Amino acid sequence: MKIVIDKRDNILQQAAKLISDTVSAKPDCAIAFAAGETLKQVYSELTKNPTVSFSGCKAFNVTEYVGLENDKNGCASELYEELYSKLGISEIHTPNAENFESYDDEIAAAGGIELAVLGIGTNGHIGFNEPATLFDTHTHIAKLTDKTKAMKAEHFGGVDNVPVEAYTMGLKTLCSAKNVILCAFGEEKADVVYNLVYGKTSTYIPAAMLQMHMNMTLLLDEAAGAKLD
């Protein structure tokens, strides 16, 4: 695993460059994009001054809340607003009730995920693969934990408004991506980042599965990386 710890602005630029370089090398590649506040900052940097054309690239949303497929609070709307509309990406795939069981086949038909762009939950989730998710999961419906719902409460204007379930690429789906970048910012992510890097690869910290990934880059600001040696 390659680990980069730097000032947040530098990390944002590095993340944007890694994404752009991937598309530059393979303009028709499939990229898995996760949602969340951390990646919002990456997408803002990426869309500020794009250096390559993204129009041939195929976007695969990592997650979507059950019932919010067409809602402004859903991941698809968020990613469309922040990213796809600004970069001119028109081929967009979202897991939903109709396709979630065949979503991994859609990914395979697109040539596999060239790059997965991920964040991490404070409980170690990637996508919505919560603790105790099995290692060999494909895209599925996940029940959100109380910790995840609490983390998302602000976004939904209260914990009671947070959906209880979400479609998510599975751990196997994400770990099958040829390249992975995972971004984490802020002090509240420092413990989980430590566990991602040094923890046992148990289902307790799903993100720790990425320790075994051959092309994994962890991009941290100084606060999120503070507990690493």
Tokens at residue 201, please?
Answer: 């690869």
Q: Record the tokens describing residue 170, joined without a space.
A: 């599975």
Nearest CB to ligand GLP, comparing residues 54 and 74: 74
CB closer to ligand GLP out of 52 and 150: 150
Q: 99 or 145, CB closer to ligand GLP?
A: 145
**Residues making up the chain, counted from first to last:** 229
Q: Does residue 22 interact with ligand GLP by CB under 6 A?
A: no
| DSSP assignment of 152-166 | HHHHHTSGGGS-SEE
Radius of gyration of the chain measured on its C-alpha atoms? 16
**Is 120 among the residues that bind ligand GLP (CB under 6 A)?**
yes
Q: Percent helix, strand, coil in the chain (nearest 5)? A: 40, 20, 40
Q: Which is nearer to ligand GLP, 95 or 119 (CB)?
A: 119
Size, binding site for ligand GLP by CB under 6 A: 14
Least CB distance to ligand GLP at residue 27 (A): 25
String marking each residue 135-154 x if it binds ligand GLP according to CB under 6 A = -------------x------
Q: Which of 85, 55, 38, 29 is nearest to 186 (CA)?
A: 38
Rounded alpha-carbon distances, angstroms, from residue 139 to 7, 94, 107, 127, 197: 34, 11, 10, 10, 24
C-alpha dihedral (229, 212, 109, 19), degrees to nearest 10: 20
Whose Cβ is closer to ligand GLP: residue 22's or residue 148's? 148
Residue 36 touching ligand GLP (CB under 6 A): yes
Site for ligand GLP contains 14 (CB under 6 A): no
Could you tell me which of 136, 214, 135 has the C-alpha nearest to residue 180?
214
Closest distance of CB 189 from ligand GLP, Å: 7
63/176 with CB nearer ligand GLP: 63
Q: Does 79 bind ligand GLP (CB under 6 A)?
A: no
Does 35 help bind ligand GLP (rule: CB under 6 A)?
A: yes
Q: Name the site residues for ligand GLP (rule: CB under 6 A).
A: 34-38, 62-63, 118-121, 127-128, 148
